[in-house]
Structures are given as C-alpha cells and as structure tokens.
Amino acid sequence: MPLLTVDELTVTFGGRGRKDVRAVNGVSFTVDQGQVVGLVGESGCGKSVTSLALMGLLPAKGVTLGGRADFDGTDLLTLSPRRMRDMRGRDLAMIFQDPLSSLNPVVPVGVQVTEILQRHRGLKGEAARKEAAHLLDRVGIPDPNRRLKEFPHQLSGGMRQRALIAMAVACAPRLLIADEPTTALDVTIQAQILELLKELVDQEGTALLMITHDLGVVAGLCDQVNVLYAGKVVESAARRELFAHPTHPYTHGLLGSIPRLDAPRGEPLHPIRGSINDQIAWADGCAFAPRCDRYEMDCLTGTPALTEPRAAGHQARCVNPVLATTEVPA
C-alpha cells in the first residue's frame, strides 16, 4: 500500500477577474515507502505546482484544488491549515530550487535550523543547538559550530543547499519532496548533493519525490518515473523500462534531445520542435500534438487515455505511440 497516492490532482489559478488557468490537469501517481519517484517535464508543465499543492503551500485565495492526494490515510488537499502546518516539516518536507533565496538572509543559519527542531521535536536551547550542529555535520558541512553562527550570504552555494537539506531531514520526514534541488548549483556540486540525497533516503528509508527537468538526475536516482506534459502525466514507468523504451513521442523527444557520448560523430540531436506554449487544450486532443512528428488527425479526438501499449506497468498517454525500439536515436 503506497505512502502517497495522488489521484486526478487538478490545480486551477483564477480570481482577480483573470481568466482561469489550469496548471495541473488531472495528475495521478503513487509513491511507496522509501521509494524514489521522479516527476519529469519541461518548466511550465505543472510539476512544481503539483509539489506545492501537496505541501499545501499554494495561496488560499485564487486557487482551486481538485482530486485527492492520500498521504497514508489523510487527504492532504482537504486538510485544515493548522493540521497541515503540523505535518509540514515533520511528516513531509521540501527542498527548493534556489538555495540562496530560499534562506532568510537576515537570520543566522543556526536559528533557521533550530527553529524547526524546536517546532516539531520540542528541542530547546543547547539541545537544539547540538542537534543542529549534528545535522549540519551529517549533510557534510565542515566546522558546523562555526557555520551555525554565520549568515546565508557567508556560505557557498553548495553549503546553502546542504543547510536546506539539513532542515528538511531534521525531523526524519516520511516523504521528502525535492524541487529541482540541483539546478541552481554548478555541476560538480550537483553530483555531491544528489549523492547526499540518495544516501539520506537510503539510511532513513524516506520516500523521495524528485522533481526535475533533467533526465540525467532521474537516471541516476529514481526508481519510478512520471513524465508530465501540460499538466498531465503522459508516460509513467520504472526507470530502466522508460529509458530503454520511451513510448510517448514526448519522452522519446526528451531522450532524443540529450547529447550522448556514445553517439557516433556528426550524429545530429533531435530536439523537440516549438515550445510548451504551442499546445492545445487536453479536452480537444493531445496537448503535445502541435510539436509531435507522429501527430495524426485522431490525436485530436478528445484526451487520449493512459494505456499500456508495450508492457505491464508502463503507461503512456498516446494514440500513436512509439513501439519499435529501433527508433530510439542511436
């Protein structure tokens, strides 16, 4: 029985006399105990919004939520604000994209770590400080006692992200959501951070929901991958399966657009045409159609259903899926 079951989640921004915009359009996926699940897609595909919705961090005004997000027995979407407040940081925690802007510039790192310990684990004063130091040490920040007194701007990018991770794991949450945790960092640091995340989840048996646009990250980390396009899951499979047999033209495209060292010289990349802006409403058909090479008239007959055209547990939302392995750009 999965830890988190997201079922037909929809997020609609509206109000202020503006036209309603549906950012998440019926997303469903599950996360099991200790499992690492990827949520992949271009920016604007609704993956971050999904995570915020799960954390209950979307503004109350002008946002309407639909569907269910069952976190072992409790629906996160309908939870009262104060109950949500109690769960955040304790049962489910989150790591954000830009470590600098995500840390309060005028408050010492130490305080920012201890405050969560105080809130959820009732640790005070010296005890809290000790634990905080221990946490920083655990996330691999050298000389933690000194760092605790320092301010974010005095830390390096990597250390900031480590500090954020320390806060996230401070209360050993059961679900950890990481929203593009490495995008703002330079490559060498990225690897370290991913390494750290992996070992943390392994130790604690924490489930990790990895939100990224970077298939590399996914390949390195995730057990299960969900590909999002225009607010819907278009393909969902175990990591190996997905990379071996990308079935949805979009996934296919994504993979095709990654440069590969083992590709013969002169072999062209196959980027996807156009941008996320050229899309059509799911109601009318496949939102990806405008950018799709395999697009046919019947792509435009309503929302395509999730099917398992290739193997059990490998779902794709496409009327005209890619089935021949050969077509993967070699």
Partner 1 sequence: MLRLVVRRLLQLIPTLLGLSVLLFLWLNRLPGGPASAILGERATEADVARINRTLGLDQPVYVQYGRFLKRLFNLDLGTSVQTGQPVWDEFVLRFPATVELSIAAMIIATVVGIPLGYLAARKRGGWIDVASVSGSLVGICIPVFFLALLLKGVFAVELGIFPSFGRQSTGLDATDVTGFAVLDGLLTGEFDASWDAIMHLVLPAVALASIPLAVIVRMTRASVLEVLGEDYVRTAESKGLERRVVRGRHILRNAMLPVVTAVGLLTGSLLSGAVLTESVFSFGGIGSFIRTAIEARDYPVLVGFILFIAMVYVLINLLVDLLYSVIDPRVRVH
Partner 2 sequence: MGLISTNTSKIDRLAELTAATEHSTGASLWREALRRLRASKMAVIGAVIIGLFVIVAIIGPWVAPYGPIEQTWRGEVFPNQGKFVGARAENWFGLDQLGRDLFSRFLVGARQTLLVGVVSMLIGLVVGAVIGAVSGAAATLGGRSGQRVDSFVMRVTDIMLALPSLLLAVSIAAVMGQSLTTVMIAVGVVQVPIFARLLRGSMLAQGRSDYVLAARSLGIRKRRIVLTQIMPNSLSPVIVQATLSLATAIIEAAALSYLGLGNPDPAVPEWGVMLSSAQRFFDNAPMMSVYPAVGIIITALGFTLLGEAMREALDPKLRG
* Sites of contact with partner 1 (CB under 8 A): 55, 57, 84-90, 93-94, 96, 98, 101-107, 111, 115-116, 119-120, 151, 153, 164, 167
115 contact choice in partner 1, partner 2, none (CB below 5 to 8 Å, kind-dependent): partner 1
Which residue is listed with tokens 């309603």? 20
263 contact choice in partner 1, partner 2, none (CB below 5 to 8 Å, kind-dependent): none
Q: What is the nearest approach in angstroms of partner 1 to the Cβ of residue 177? A: 9
Which residue lies nearer to partner 2 by CB, 267 or 296?
A: 296
Which residue lies nearer to partner 2 by CB, 42 or 131?
A: 42
Q: Enumerate the β-bridge partners of residue 27.
A: 9
Distance between CA atoms of residues 233 and 38, nearest Å: 12
89 contact choice in partner 2, partner 1, none (CB below 5 to 8 Å, kind-dependent): partner 1
Q: Which long-range contacts (CB under 8 A, 24 or more apart) does 322-325 make?
A: 322/246, 322/247, 322/248, 322/249, 322/252, 322/294, 323/247, 325/244, 325/245
Q: Please give the full DSSP string across 145-210, using - where no structure is assigned.
A: HHHHHS-GGGS-HHHHHHHHHHHHHTT--SEEEEESTTTTS-HHHHHHHHHHHHHHHHHHT-EEEE
Which residue lies nearer to partner 1 by CB, 112 or 251?
A: 112
Alpha helices in the chain, H assignment, sequence order:
47-55, 81-87, 99-102, 109-121, 125-138, 144-149, 157-169, 187-204, 215-221, 239-244, 249-256
**Pair of tokens at residue 102:** 């995500």
How many residues can be counted in the chain?
330
Which residue lies nearer to partner 2 by CB, 3 or 45?
A: 45
19 contact choice in partner 1, partner 2, none (CB below 5 to 8 Å, kind-dependent): partner 2
Q: What is the nearest approach in angstroms of partner 1 to the Cβ of residue 247? A: 35
Q: What is the nearest approach in angstroms of partner 2 to the Cβ of residue 259? A: 27
Phi, psi of 183 (to 5 degrees): -55, -40
Binding residues vs partner 2 (CB under 8 A): 17, 19, 21, 277-281, 284-285, 289-290, 295-297, 300
Q: What is the nearest approach in angstroms of partner 1 to the Cβ of residue 87? A: 7
Within 8 A by CB and 6+ apart from 129, the residues are: 110, 114, 148
Distance between CA atoms of residues 105 and 91, nearest Å: 26
DSSP type of residue 266: T
Which residue lies nearer to partner 1 by CB, 25 or 206?
A: 206
Which residue lies nearer to partner 2 by CB, 249 or 285?
A: 285
Which residue lies nearer to partner 1 by CB, 163 or 234?
A: 163
Q: What is the nearest approach in angstroms of partner 1 to the Cβ of residue 276? A: 23
**Pair of tokens at residue 59:** 């503004």
Q: What is the nearest approach in angstroms of partner 2 to the Cβ of residue 31? A: 31
Q: What is the nearest approach in angstroms of partner 1 to the Cβ of residue 236? A: 26
Q: What is the nearest approach in angstroms of partner 1 to the Cβ of residue 59? A: 9
Cα atoms in the Cβ-side hemisphere of radius 13 Å centred on 242: 29
197 contact choice in partner 1, partner 2, none (CB below 5 to 8 Å, kind-dependent): none
209 contact choice in partner 2, partner 1, none (CB below 5 to 8 Å, kind-dependent): none
Other Cβ atoms less than 10 A from the Cβ of 63: the count is 16
Which residue lies nearer to partner 1 by CB, 204 or 223?
A: 204
